[in-house]
Structure 1
Amino acid sequence: MKRLLDVIFSLIGLITLSPVLIVVMVLGWVDTRSPLFKQERVGRHQRSFILVKFRTMRIETQSVASHLADASAITPLGHFLRRTKLDELPQLWNVLKGEMSLVGPRPSLFNQEELIQERERQGVYNARPGITGLAQIEGIDMSTPQLLARTDAKMLKTMNLRNYFSYIALTVLGKGSGDRVRGH
Structure 2
Amino acid sequence: MIRTLDFLFSLLGLVFGFPVLLVLYVIGLFDTGLPVFRQERVGQHKKPFTLVKFRTMSVNTASVASHLASSSSITKFGHFLRRTKLDELPQLWNVLKGEMSLVGPRPCLFNQEKLIQEREQRGVLAARPGVTGLAQVNNIDMSTPGLLAETDAKMLTNLTVAAYFKYILMTVSGKGTGDRVPGRE
TM range (shorter): over 0.9
Could you report, residue by residue, the CA deviation over 1:64-89 in whole angstroms, capped at 9, with x for unpaired residues?
00000010100010010000000000
Q: Work out the number of aligned pairs and report it.
A: 184
Could you report, residue by residue, the CA deviation over 1:34-76 in whole angstroms, capped at 9, with x for unpaired residues?
0000000000000000000000000000000000001010001
Aligned AA (1:152): D
Match of 2:134 in 1: 134
Match of 2:116 in 1: 116
Deviation at 1:183, TM superposition (A): 2.3
1:23-172 correspondence to structure 2 within 5 Å: 23-172=23-172
**1:13 lines up with 2:39 in the alignment:** no
Could you report, residue by residue, the CA deviation over 1:110-146 in whole angstroms, capped at 9, with x for unpaired residues?
0000000000000001110000000001000000000
Task: Give aligned-pair identity as a percent.
Answer: 68
Q: Give, in whole Å, the separation in 2 of the partners of 1:95 and 1:35.
A: 20
Aligned AA (1:111): N
After TM superposition, which residue ranges in structure 1, 4 or more long, deviate above 3 angstroms?
none
User: SS at the partner of 2:52?
Assistant: strand
Q: Give, in whole Å, the separation in 1 of the partners of 2:35 and 2:171.
A: 23
Q: Give, in whole Å, the separation in 1 of the partners of 2:159 and 2:80.
A: 31
Deviation at 1:182, TM superposition (A): 1.9
Aligned AA (2:6): D
Could you report, residue by residue, the CA deviation over 1:6-60 in whole angstroms, capped at 9, with x for unpaired residues?
0000000001110000000000001011000000000000000000000000000
Q: Give, in whole Å, the separation in 2 of the partners of 1:126 and 1:179.
A: 22
* TM-score, normalised via structure 2 length: 0.99
Q: Give, in whole Å, the separation in 1 of the partners of 2:183 and 2:17.
A: 32
User: SS at the partner of 2:168?
Assistant: helix
Q: Give, in whole Å, the separation in 2 of the partners of 1:165 and 1:34.
A: 33
Q: Give, in whole Å, the separation in 2 of the partners of 1:89 and 1:177.
A: 15
Q: Give, in whole Å, the separation in 2 of the partners of 1:179 and 1:98.
A: 22
* TM-score, normalised via structure 1 length: 0.99
Structure 2: unaligned runs, 5 residues or longer: none
